[in-house]
Amino acid sequence: MNTASILLISGPSGCGKSTMLEYIYKHISQYYFSISTTTRAQRVGEVDGVDYFFVSKEHFEKDIQNGHFLEWAKVHDNYYGTSKKPITQAINDGKLIIFDIDVQGFHILKESMGRYITSVFITTKSKSDLENRLIKRAKDSPQDIQTRLANAAIEMKQAHEYDYIIINDDLEQSSKNLLNIISVMDLKTSDTKHKKLIHSWVN
C-alpha cells in the first residue's frame, strides 16, 4: 500500500475470519493488525498483547473517560475497544491497517475514518452452519453459543452496509477473495492520492 488504508472485517464468531487472516498475512507485508483491548477473561492459549490486551473493567472505564479509545463497545457483557495511539502511528507510516471488529465498532470507525476504510462482512451460508462450527470448535458453552447465534442474526441485518460480503463456504476461495479485495483497495477513488492527482489535472 502506498498510502494508509484500513481493511475492516466483521462477522459472527466462528465464521472463519481468523483463519482467513492467517492466509492474508502470508501474502502481504507492511500491515498492522489492530489488537483490541478487552475486559473478558483470558482463554487458555491466548497471549496478552498478541490476541488482546487484557485489562480490568475499572481500567477500561478509566481509559474511556480519558478519551484513549478510537472506538469501544460492550459485547457479551464485556468491553472491547481500540486504542488511538498505535492506529495513528500506523496511518502515519502508510501501512495497511487490519481491523477484526464488530458491527458497533464498524459504525463508529466509519463515521470517524470512513475515507480510509474498505469494509468486508464475512459470514457462513446459514445460521445452522454457524451453529455447527461453534459446536465443533468446543470453545463455548451451549448458552454462549445461543447468545452468539442471536447476536449474529442481529449483525446479519446490517451486512448490506459493508462494501463487500464474503460467504465462507470454501475457506481457500474465500481467503483468495479477501486477498483480491486488498489488492484493489489502493485503486479506490476515495484515496487521498487520487484526489491530489485529479486536482493536479484540473488546476
Better-predicted residue by pLDDT, 88 or 23: 23
* Residue 155: per-residue pLDDT: 94
Does some domain include residue 203? no
* Residue 82: per-residue pLDDT: 92
The dihedral sign for the CA sequence 132, 136, 139, 141: positive
Q: How many domains does the chain have?
A: 1
Q: At what angle do helices 17-25 and 171-185 cross, to 10 degrees?
A: 60
Better-predicted residue by pLDDT, 104 or 56: 56
* Residue 30: per-residue pLDDT: 84
3-state helix, strand and coil shares in percent for the chain, rounded to the nearest 5: 45, 20, 30
* Residue 193: per-residue pLDDT: 62
- Percent of the chain past pLDDT 70, that is, above it, reads 95
**Domain enclosing residue 128, as ranges:** 5-198
**Are the C-beta atoms of 48 and 37 separated by less than 8 Å?**
no
CATH number at 115 reads 3.40.50.300
- The predicted model scores a pTM of 0.81
Q: What is the pLDDT of residues 157-186, one digit of tens each?
A: 999 999 999 999 999 999 999 999 999 887
**Are the C-beta atoms of 185 and 24 separated by less than 8 Å?**
no
Residue type, 75: V
Which residue has cell 487472516? 21
Does some domain include residue 90? yes
Q: To the nearest whole number, what is the mean pLDDT of the chain?
A: 89
